Amino acid sequence: MTENKGFRAGFISFVGRPNVGKSTLMNALVGDKVAITSSKPQTTRMAIRGIVHREEGQIVIVDTPGIHRPRTLLGQRLNDVVSHTLGDVDVIAMCVPAPDKVGPGDRFIAQSLAEYTRAIRICLVTKTDAASPATIAERLMEVDQLGDWASIIPVSAVKGTQLDTLVTEILALLPESEPLYGAEDTTEQTQETRIAELIREATLEGVSDELPHSIAVTIDEMLERDDGLLHIFANLWVERDSQKGIIIGAKGSKLRDIGSEARAGIEELIGRRVFLAIQVKVSKEWQRDAKKLDKLGL
């Protein structure tokens, strides 16, 4: 029996195809940007924990990469992250975007969830702000046929629609427990990891569809200098020389824009001014090389 009688705490994972709004939804619920977001598929590359605090309970959301048919070793590792995560959570929330008809990918994911017998399964129809009431109703009927859900909830992370209802529903499904994290915690990611992700986020927009998969970021050093700035030295990795040229841009214009946008995000995150130096480097076919993936922390 817990000291906080009636207090509930546990883990929920959002799953779905790439780019169904999982990270945006997690950020909205947590009230902090703990996961980067992008219109590019497979933006999320790790299991990111975001903590939602309420008087009556604590929800630990584990955001995962989108489940997809892997074409590289990186893709397989991302799917493995999802599989390992789902075996440990209390609730699995499958996300289906309201604007898109349910397709084979959704059906495959819904069927695969049956093997995770420990978790209660719910379904979320996301991005309702981007769909008409008739389309939302159609999607709700489609997802009802996908599986045996404890609950089906339409939500909009952008508008905040039904988020309180979602929190209430999730808490009711979690076990009684002492809080799992401190009251001030929103994530367990290190500051260095969050900074690297903000640099990657700034790089993703405005590049061609294939290039995002070839982008990785590592932090070499973070140094306190006498000028009062935090100096951050980062490497932005791509797989080919031609990609390096795209990232740098004409006379370095693209890289300057990336640096400016990333620096603004980093300064907002840590609450102080920074000097950011980014070097673009080539690591041939790193998505397919186990040793290179290990070196990049993937």
Q: What is the pLDDT of residue 145?
A: 94
Tell me the mean pLDDT in the region 278-297: 84
Of 72-76, 104-108, 254-258, the one with minimum mean pLDDT is: 72-76
CA 70 – CA 151 distance, rounded (Å): 30
For residues 290 and 2, which has the higher predicted lDDT (pLDDT)?
290
Domain boundaries, given as residue ranges, for the chain: 8-173, 191-295
With contact defined as beta carbons under 8 Å apart, do 269 and 195 qualify?
yes
The pTM (predicted TM-score) of the whole model is 0.79
Q: What is the pLDDT of residue 210?
A: 61
pLDDT for residue 236 is more than 60: yes
Tell me the mean pLDDT in the region 148-155: 96
The amino acid sitting at 210 is E
Total residues belonging to the chain? 298
Q: What is the pLDDT of residue 222?
A: 92
- Direct distance between the N- and C-terminal alpha carbons of the chain, in angstroms, rounded to an integer: 39
Structure tokens at 225: 């200098």
- Rg over CA atoms, the chain: 20
Max mean pLDDT among 11-20, 67-76, 261-270 falls in 261-270
For residue 200, which of 189, 212, 209, 188 has the smallest C-alpha distance?
212
Task: Render pLDDT for 38-95 as a digit per residue (tens, 0 to 9).
Answer: 776 666 666 788 899 999 999 999 887 666 666 778 777 777 777 777 878 999 999 9
Q: Do β-strands 57-63 and 152-154 pair in parallel, antiparallel, or remain unpaired?
A: unpaired
CATH topology of domain 191-295: GMP Synthetase; Chain A, domain 3 (3.30.300)
Q: Which residues contact 161 (CB under 8 A, 6 or more apart)?
A: 128, 129, 154, 155
The amino acid sitting at 46 is M
Q: What is the pLDDT of residue 132?
A: 97
For residues 86 and 253, which has the higher predicted lDDT (pLDDT)?
253
With contact defined as beta carbons under 8 Å apart, do 164 and 51 qualify?
no
Query: If you average pLDDT over every residue of the chain, what do you get?
Result: 87
User: In CATH, what is the architecture of 8-173?
Assistant: 3-Layer(aba) Sandwich (3.40)
CA 289 – CA 73 distance, rounded (Å): 7
CA 291 – CA 298 distance, rounded (Å): 10
Q: Quick one: what percent of the chain has pLDDT higher than 90?
A: 49
For residues 267 and 47, which has the higher predicted lDDT (pLDDT)?
267
Q: What is the pLDDT of residue 21?
A: 87
In degrees, rounded to 5, the angle at the alpha carbon of residue 292 between the alpha carbons of residues 63 and 16 is 20
Task: Render pLDDT for 153-197 as a digit per residue (tens, 0 to 9).
Answer: 999 999 999 999 999 999 999 999 999 999 888 887 888 888 998
Structure tokens at 241: 């020389």
For residue 167, which of 276, 263, 266, 52 has the smallest C-alpha distance?
52
For residues 53 and 297, which has the higher predicted lDDT (pLDDT)?
53
- CB count, 10 Å around CB of 148? 8
With contact defined as beta carbons under 8 Å apart, do 70 and 45 qualify?
no
Q: How many angstroms separate the Cα of 240 from the Cα of each of 220, 235, 247, 257, 282?
A: 21, 15, 11, 21, 6
Of 37-41, 124-128, 143-147, the one with minimum mean pLDDT is: 37-41
Q: What is the pLDDT of residue 2?
A: 47
Of 85-99, 116-130, 209-223, the one with minimum mean pLDDT is: 209-223
For residues 59 and 290, which has the higher predicted lDDT (pLDDT)?
59
For residues 41 and 292, which has the higher predicted lDDT (pLDDT)?
292
Q: What is the pLDDT of residue 291?
A: 85
